[in-house]
Structure 1
Amino acid sequence: MASRQDIMKVLDLWLEPGRFQDYCPNGLQVEGKEEIRKIVSGVTASQALIDAAISVGADMILVHHGYFWKGEGQRITGIKKARLQKLLAHDLNLVAYHLPLDDHPEYGNNAQLARVLGFAEAAPLDGLVWSGRMEPALSVEEFARHVASRLGREPLHVGQGRERIERVAWCTGAAQGFIGTALDSGADAYLSGEISEPTTHAAREAGIHYFACGHHATERYGVQALGEALARACDLEHRFIDCDNPV
């Protein structure tokens, strides 16, 4: 068991949210009970995750995608009211880290995706984009099967380029716009979560393989690693709950 204050000190020390200009508040978003025994981690603070956390007796929910995004409506109605009402009724803390979790060199989404996919020499390339190597190099078809088997979903492959993939760049989530960074690095392939209409043309015309592997699928691992580390550091119970999302 640990106090909410002590847990937040640990998280803020590890993730350094003050370094980021983000789209949402990082850290404690909804205040609940003071003493914490069990935390549940998940990708997004959806109603399904809240209900699952309540069912297992959690005191705190730790997510990558929380609430209060820039540009969203300020009224507490509909879905927003239902979610907040459940959290407050059950005295549940909601803690969210967005860009700080993407960026972290050990627990971050990009670092953890490299671990899951087995990329060698994984390191930050530029901003949030990382790079590494596939050893041994794989054919495009073999690489797609490798990604599918590790992430549990078929990636969407567009573009064209070298016949074998060795040098890889990636950034989890909705980072398809960074394909230019991957191109500048000389990568054979670039991976992210989502795809936009211009991504296909850029990949085809520039000669790079692009794999859209799923926003949710690429960002399951950072918050899970963070929750496990936090549980060890603060003597807590931890459970990762995966509320599947096909996007």
Structure 2
Amino acid sequence: MSFHVIVPARLASSRLPEKPLADIGGLPMVVRVAQAAQRSGAEQVVVACDHPRIQAACAQHGVPALLTRADHPSGSDRLAEAVGLLGLADDALVVNVQGDEPLIDPALVRDCAQLLAGRPDCAMATVAHAIDDLAEFRNPNVVKLVCDSQQRALYFSRACIPWWRDGPEPAAIGPEAVVLRHVGLYAYRAGFLRRFPALEPSPLERAESLEQLRVLWHGERIAVHISPQRPGPGVDTPEDLVRVRQAFA
């Protein structure tokens, strides 16, 4: 199986300024992410960035980087431009590894690509893991999802789904109702990525602020790989950065 990894990276960040360039053990975070992705067995790993400073930092450490438009509304739009710049065939598999996931497991990247390779009925694949903490279940910053019998996503939400109607709230965590946390790792076919920016954003996407709901709204299917392990934490805030630096130390 051959697949490509593209790491979208945007310099501006409201909670952590210049996040892609944040130092983690002597290397910029985006370089750490790319290095982890390279260990997945991908045919190529490319950073798609919006600023020459990110491109220069990648070049300094031998990581290929494309300079893309600065006005993309989402990471998927940036990936679509990168797919065009790379000239990938429509059936090429592309994994989107977020630029703020320096602890991403390379095996998980490969698992996501492999799932999509075996699911011609799906336009995308993504990852989830079981939630076993009630506070996490209640947290609107934790995106939950539910699947059908074929492990295809039915819906993604910031709300508590599924809800156990006939019992106390903690019963939502347990065998009666499988509760899954979405992990922001995606695999696409390049042809679908090219089409994605032209799809009209859906009302559900606007309500939940979840881009993947646009895919479901337009009738496309998303295969879900359920990981037995919780992936390493991403970096959204200064406090997250401290934790990740400690992990590398």
> Larger strand proportion, structure 1 or 2?
1
Give the TM-score, by structure 1 length.
0.29
Question: Radius of gyration: which is bigger?
Answer: 1
> Larger helix proportion, structure 1 or 2?
1
Give the TM-score, by structure 2 length.
0.29
